[in-house]
Chains A and B, each alone.
Chain A
Amino acid sequence: MKTITLAVSRFDPAVDAEPHLEEYTVRVNEGARVLHALHAIRDEHDPTLTYRYCCGSGQCGSCAVRVDGTPALACMAEARDGMTVEPLDLPVVKDLTVDMEPVIAKIARICPSPDAGLPAKEEIAAIKPLRDCIECLSCVSACPALQVTDFAGPTVLRQEMRLALDPRDSGDRITDAIAKGLFYCTTCKRCTEVCPKEIDIPGKAIEKLREVANRRGLTLPRHREVAQLVRETGRSVERTQPTFLEQVPEVIEPDGPVRGEVGFFVGCMFNGRVPQTALDAMEVMKRNGIRVLVPHDQVCCGSPLIRTGQTTDVEDLKRKNIEAFARRGITTVMTICAGCGATLKNDYETPFTIKDVTEVLTEYGIEPPAKLDVRATYHDPCHLLRGQGIRDQPRALLCNAVREFVEMPSQCCGAGGGVRSGIPEEAKALGAKRDEAVKATGADVVVTVCPFCEFHIADCTDVPVKNLVTVLLEGYRKKDAKTGE
């Protein structure tokens, strides 16, 4: 047995204006789950504590709560001393119970056609990963799109795809999915992160539904324009100035001895819209002895097309990119765009390794820059944090480059998944939430490692937004200026 203290959100609509946290100290067994700590409170302190539970083994989806802010099944998450237990971010009925029924009612039911036979083995295999959902509504609680739109929720779209894949179903799942907010998803993958069954709803449902929508000519006009641009130019972004690739040679030698070598996948944003950041990155590589090979025949990675379901031309892009790097014998390809990096890592099968710039710099180790005299916060790009599982490296690099680093709660900025172009008002509303979060940190600068996030957040806040490589370069310049004195 051990003693733990936990704070639990209490709310009785009959007497309370709003929920409040109450602290309890209880004795629980080793290995006890959150649910057992709640039982201990109910049985030993307050029998009126209200919470749902049933199977106790992660199978029924009754007991999802937020533990320290993150949704989890109370019966599976281990109870920790000092934890805070709150209801899911849904209308609260009492204490930890929320109104689940209205959301569950939005989850579509199959409409089997009378003469349908058994699906084939491959069809069953395709459906199964989407069938594991236990409707705990963790994803609905955590989805950022739901905070600013009437998006029906990740699991609701999951079910549309599950039904679209079933030859027995006679419903029009694409029309339904669009009505339920198919284009609202930023593909931030927060839903997958909190899902107790780890269902990849953006990848296996949303993007696939968008593909079917595309085949039926239902892609949003703004997204179609992007696909048209890629077809015409090989790039998803219109050039507004001389591109990065036009400004650099194919081989960029470092200043000093060569410590390493990487290929560089620049990506459309850094190539055409904000080439200066990519040029800054090259300076940082030169300074740290890393030779950079830049195949000029590289094209768009295809991410804007995959995320919006326009996959017809993606295989061609993949082939061109893989050839461009493989032909030159490159074994490690570096990205400084989180979106490109996640796409190359997750949607490609490459004969070379993909690394984000923060991974490359961390592995080689960098010359410490002078610390800039600023308070900086860091915005996690979704495609870096969840798309590539990179959390610590950018923070460590940033901490060494600024006077003060302050954390900010991680949330999607709203730029991804084609939302910035397709549903600009949603992107703006999510951006405004980032602005609030930035302001709450009191930071002088927001640092990130994704051009889409950088560009979008800069549109939504008056605090300067910079790429990490630019901050590093500024640190080196400051250092050089000092030495020069």
Chain B
Amino acid sequence: MLVDESVDAHVLVIGSGGAGVRAAIEASRYGGVVLVSKTIAGKGGCTTMAEGGFNAVLREADSIDVHHEDTLKGGAYLNDPALVDALVHEAPERMNDLVRWGAVFDVTEDRQVAQRPFGGQRFPRTCYAGDRTGHELIMTLLDRLDATDAQLYQEVSVVDLVPDENGAIAGAIALDRDGSPVLFSADATVLATGGGTQVYDISTNSAAGTGDGFAMGYRAGAELIDMEMVQFHPTGAVYPYDARGRLVTEAVRGEGGILLNARRERFMEHYDPARMELSTRDVVARAIATEVLEGRGTNRGGVYLDVTHLPAETIETRLPVMLEQFLAFGVDIRREPMEVAPTAHHIMGGLRITPECRTTLSGLFACGEVSGGVHGANRLGGNALAETQVFGKRAGESAGKAPARGGRVDQTRVDGVLRMLDGFFEGAASPAAVRKDLKLTMWNQAGIFRTAPDLRTALGHIRRLADQRLCAASTANLLECCTVRNMCTTASLIVRCALLRPENRGAHVRRDATVITEPAMSPFCHTYVSLAREGIERREVAG
């Protein structure tokens, strides 16, 4: 197999979600930007699907410091404080960018961006466009991108990063729709590939959420942190079977929705009586999982999420997507409760970055869900969209300012990727079968409640799956093989880090935890994993 096409850029942005497009917009101020999108831009990734909102301090009565504290507390104090600083200070200005560029957010009577309450926050600071906030955001960003001279490659999927002779990241190899390789070389590369909870059987992520960026970054030698921190969103649909895991936005609870078990008890009283349904996602997800495990769930293995006490008009105007989706499956949420259960939603961990979005690899920047550290051990609803904009801009700026690279693309590494691709024509294992097996393994053995023996079993199984030689039925199927390979890698990173952290922290619960402390007093900081090393950082705890 040979490279069909070569594209040279100053900045290569990989990923067309909120972070990638924002990065490309910012980088375009410095010229020579190429944005590579696995899907038709605007249709891929999870930004488009984000429903509830964007956290930004916009009111006098709110404060940046409170947003900062809420984020740290919600993140079980595992967040990188410098990243949180950037997030909370710059989210308002990034929100203003969107409004200036034409975003249609809901507004109040006195012409301010409207805000709703979200879990774990002491002020209603979640800005929204009904329950299609992410869609609004991405459409606005694409309008803005169109006004720049960034070049867009759509339905071209990056399969590996490639270094130059000095080891700095110098670009990437991608496959176009037909499976023909394209080589992108660049002075700076921004990884904005989003998350990867598609490695779980039940997930809210789009089909694109396969963890490609974690895997490519890892293979290229970058260090990742806190990969065990997987957010299980409390409320995913449970029916029909094939749509299970589909996100039921936190805005449902933000607007007043209540959770009831099969006995119609408002069970959050027993888990977080102060915050009830608007507790943080880790707490609510575990509460629901516990109700179901202890036999108080519905026949389909969920609990009820009820908004029937709200005026129909509130549901129609504030939650139109929810109303429409449930109606399509025969449930009128104005009259009957939804059935929900936790679903794998967001990976808090990712490539280790500085506030300037530099990874541990020269020439490689990362932003959005593929990066780690902003959300710590649990992400607050509404902080992800804010993160895409704050760090998308930062990554774009850093990459734009990057100097021209000295070395040339390392041809031996390019050849290695091409050989790997050729190998898929001789493989025997069905990517579909491996994918299915992997997803079940992760759900059953590396899900909400974890133990070391389960995690070790999972890791062994994932390694066996990763060793299988995947088979591409045609050149157009090469991408599927690469994707399944990435899923195996991402899954193994999650499990390895889960084994490294012996405590309960935020979204990570070890039934066999050996260290029991309040999060703020934990002696541990980030887990880390790279080709070179793995471990868990310890920190000094006062008192």
Which of A57, A100, A104, A134 has its CB near the most chain B CB atoms (within 10 A)?
A57
Do the beta carbons of A58 and B328 come within 8 Å of each other?
yes
* Residue B108 is within 8 A (CB to CB) of chain A in the complex: yes
B239 touches A131 (CB 8 A): no
Partner of B48, one of A42, A48, A53, A60: A60
Binary per-residue interface labels of chain A (159-189) against chain B in the complex, 1 for a CB within 8 Å, 0 otherwise? 0000000101100000000000000000000
- Residues B107 and A30 in contact, CB atoms below 8 Å apart: no
Inter-subunit contact A124/B106 (CB<8 Å): yes
Quick check: which of B39-47, B225-233, B273-281 contacts chain A, the rest being far away?
B39-47
What is the distance, in angstroms, from A171's C-beta to the closest C-beta of chain B? 11
A124 touches B246 (CB 8 A): no
Main secondary structure of the interface of A (DSSP, over half): loop
Mark out the residues of chain A between 17 and 75 whose CB falls within 8 Å of any chain B CB in the assembled complex. 28-33, 35-36, 42-44, 46-48, 50, 52-62
Is the pair A76, B321 in contact by a Cβ cutoff of 8 Å?
A: no
Of A114-122, A200-208, A286-294, the one contacting chain B is: A114-122
Contact B107 A59 (CB under 8 A): no
Across the interface, do A59 and B40 meet the contact criterion of CB distance under 8 Å? no
| Cβ-defined partner of A135 (8 Å) among B42, B44, B206 | B42
Determine the chain B residues whose CB is within 8 A of the CB of A53 once the complex forms.
207
CA A121 to CA B114, docked complex, whole Å: 10
- Whether A55 contacts B242 by the Cβ 8 Å rule is no
The answer to whether A132 touches B111 (Cβ under 8 A) is no
A76 to B240, CA, bound (A): 11
Inter-chain CA distance A54–B329, complex, in Å, is 19
Q: Are B49 and A31 in contact (CB under 8 A)?
A: no
Asked if B480 is an interface residue, CB under 8 A from chain A, the answer is yes
Q: Flag if B240 contacts A56 (CB, 8 Å).
A: no
Alpha-carbon gap, A100 to B143, bound state (A):
17
Interface flag for A128 (CB, 8 Å) = yes
B473 contacts chain A at the CB level, 8 A cutoff: yes
* Chain B, range 175-216, C-beta contacts under 8 Å to A: 177, 206-208
Question: A44 — nearest CB in chain B belongs to which residue?
Answer: B432
**When the two chains form the complex, which single residue of A47, A60, A124 contacts B44, counting CB atoms closer than 8 Å?**
A60
How far does the Cβ of A236 sit from chain B's closest Cβ, in whole Å? 36
* In contact, A57 and B474 (Cβ under 8 angstroms): no
CB <8 Å contact, B207 and A56:
yes
Number of interface residues of A (CB under 8 A): 53
Contacts of A36 in B (CB 8 A): 242
- Indicate if the CB atoms of A60 and B107 lie closer than 8 Å: no
**Cα separation A30 to B99 with both chains bound (whole Å):** 43
Asked whether A93 is an interface residue with its Cβ less than 8 Å from the other chain, the reply is yes
* A127 on interface, CB distance cutoff 8 Å: yes
A47 touching B477 by the CB < 8 A rule? yes
Q: Mark B73-110, 1 if CB is under 8 A from A, else 0.
A: 00000000000000000000000000111101111110
In the bound complex, do residue B130 and residue A128 qualify as a contact, i.e. CB atoms below 8 Å apart?
Answer: yes
> Which B residues touch A43, using CB under 8 A?
430, 432-433, 436
Do B154 and A56 touch (CB < 8 A)? no
**Which of A29, A32, A54 touches B208 (beta carbons < 8 Å)?**
A54
A61-107 at interface with B (beta carbon < 8 Å): 61-62, 76, 93-94, 100-101, 104
- In the bound complex, residues from chain B placing their C-beta under 8 Å from that of A50 are 476
Minimum CB distance partner of B477 in chain A? A47
Residues of chain A within 8 A (CB-CB) of B106 are: 124
Does B136 have its Cβ within 8 Å of any Cβ on chain A? yes
Interface members, chain A 339-373 (any B CB < 8 Å): none
Inter-chain contact A104/B40, CB cutoff 8 Å: yes
Chain B residues near A124 (CB-CB < 8 A): 104-107
B208 touches A119 (CB 8 A): no
Q: Which of B39, B100, B240, B474 contacts A62 (CB 8 A)?
A: B39
Residues from chain B with a CB closer than 8 A to the CB of A119 are: 104, 107, 111
Per-residue 0/1 for B104-146: is the Cβ within 8 Å of any A Cβ (1 yes, 0 no)? 1111110111000000000000000110100110011011001
Looking at the complex, which one of B43, B104, B111, B242 makes contact with A131 (CB distance below 8 Å)?
Answer: B104
Decide if B206 touches A54 in the complex (CB within 8 Å): yes
Q: Chain B's nearest CB lies how many Å from the CB of A159?
A: 10
Kindly list chain A residues whose C-beta atoms are within 8 Å of the C-beta of B101: 110, 112
A351 CB to closest chain B CB (Å) equals 25
Measured CB to CB, the closest approach of chain A to B385, in angstroms, equals 14
CB nearest to A130 among chain B residues: B104
Cα A46 to Cα B432 in complex, Å, equals 11
Report whether B43 and A32 are in contact in the complex, using a CB–CB cutoff of 8 Å: no
Judge whether A54 and B39 touch: CB under 8 Å. yes
A30 touches B43 (CB 8 A): no
Of residues 431 through 476 on chain B, the ones whose CB sits less than 8 Å from some CB of chain A are: 431-433, 436, 473-474, 476
Say whether B135 contacts A134, CB under 8 Å: yes
Q: Decide yes or no whether A109 CB sits under 8 A from chain B.
A: yes
| Shortest Cβ distance from B39 into A: residue | A54
Q: Which of B208, B239, B242 contacts A33 (CB 8 A)?
A: B242
B102→A168 contact, CB < 8 A: yes
B43 pairs with A61, CB closer than 8 A: yes
Give chain A residues whose Cβ lies under 8 Å from the Cβ of B431.
47
- List the A side residues contacting B328 at CB < 8 Å: 58, 76
Q: How many whole Å from B105's CB to the nearest CB in chain A?
A: 8
A94: chain B residues at CB < 8 Å are 476
Chain B residue at minimal CB-CB distance from A100: B40
Does B243 count as interface, using CB distance less than 8 angstroms? yes
Are the CB atoms of A59 and B48 closer together than 8 Å?
A: yes
A50 to B179, CA, bound (A): 13
Q: Does B8 contact A (CB under 8 A)?
A: no
The residue on A at minimum CB distance from B112 is A118
Interchain CB contact under 8 A, B247 and A57: yes
**Minimum Cβ distance to chain B for residue A386 (Å):** 19
Chain A residue, CB-CB nearest to B99: A118
Give the distance to chain B from A87, nearest Cβ to Cβ, in Å. Answer: 15
When chains A and B are docked, how far (Å) is the Cα of A53 from the Cα of B324?
19
Instruction: Report the minimum CB–CB distance from B108 to chain A (whole Å).
Output: 7
What 0/1 readout, one digit per residue, does chain B (222-258) give for beta carbons within 8 Å of chain A?
A: 0000000000000000011111001100000000000
A34 CA to B147 CA in the complex, in Å?
Answer: 37
Central interface residue in B106, B139, B321, B476, by most chain A CB within 10 Å: B139
B473 touches A48 (CB 8 A): yes
Question: Is there a chain A Cβ closer than 8 Å to B411's Cβ?
Answer: no
B474, A48: Cβ atoms closer than 8 Å? yes
Q: Are B325 and A58 touching (Cβ within 8 A)? A: yes
| A109 touching B324 in the complex, CB below 8 Å, given contacts A31-B243, A48-B476 | no
The residues of A that contact B48 with a CB separation of less than 8 Å are: 54-55, 59-60
Given the known interface contacts A62-B39, A100-B40, the answer about A57 and B107 at a Cβ–Cβ threshold of 8 Å is no
Q: Which residues of B contact A52 (CB under 8 A)?
A: 39-40, 43
A8–chain B nearest beta-carbon distance, Å: 16
Q: Please report the C-alpha to C-alpha distance between residue A116 and residue B433 in the assembled complex, in whole angstroms.
A: 54
Alpha-carbon distance between A34 and B249 when the two chains are bound, in angstroms: 24
B242 in contact with A31 (CB, 8 Å): yes
Q: Provided the pairs A47-B477, A54-B44, A58-B328 are in contact, do residues A29 and B240 lie with their beta carbons within 8 angstroms?
A: yes
Could you tell me the distance between the alpha carbons of A61 and B476 in the complex, rounded to whole angstroms? 22
Tell me whether A57 and B325 are in contact (CB under 8 A): yes
Judging by beta carbons under 8 Å apart, are B154 and A101 in contact? yes
Q: Which residue of A lies closest to B247 (CB)?
A: A57
Q: Is the CB of B241 within 8 A of A31?
A: yes
Residues of B within 8 A of A104 (CB): 40
Q: Chain A residues near B139: list those with CB within 8 A.
A: 131
Q: Which of A55, A56, A121, A166 has the most CB of B within 10 A?
A: A55
Chain A interface residues toward B at CB < 8 A: 28-33, 35-36, 42-44, 46-48, 50, 52-62, 76, 93-94, 100-101, 104, 109-112, 116-121, 124, 127-128, 131-132, 134-135, 166, 168-169, 197
Give 29 A-B contacts (CB < 8 Å), ordered by A residue.
A31-B243, A33-B240, A46-B473, A50-B476, A52-B43, A53-B207, A54-B48, A55-B206, A57-B243, A58-B321, A58-B324, A59-B49, A60-B42, A60-B48, A62-B40, A62-B43, A109-B142, A109-B147, A112-B101, A116-B100, A118-B107, A120-B111, A121-B109, A121-B111, A124-B105, A128-B130, A132-B132, A135-B42, A166-B102
Other than the given A28-B242, A30-B240, A135-B42, 16 more pairs (CB < 8 A) read: A30-B241, A31-B241, A36-B242, A42-B432, A47-B430, A47-B432, A48-B476, A54-B48, A57-B325, A60-B44, A60-B206, A100-B40, A118-B112, A121-B108, A128-B130, A134-B135
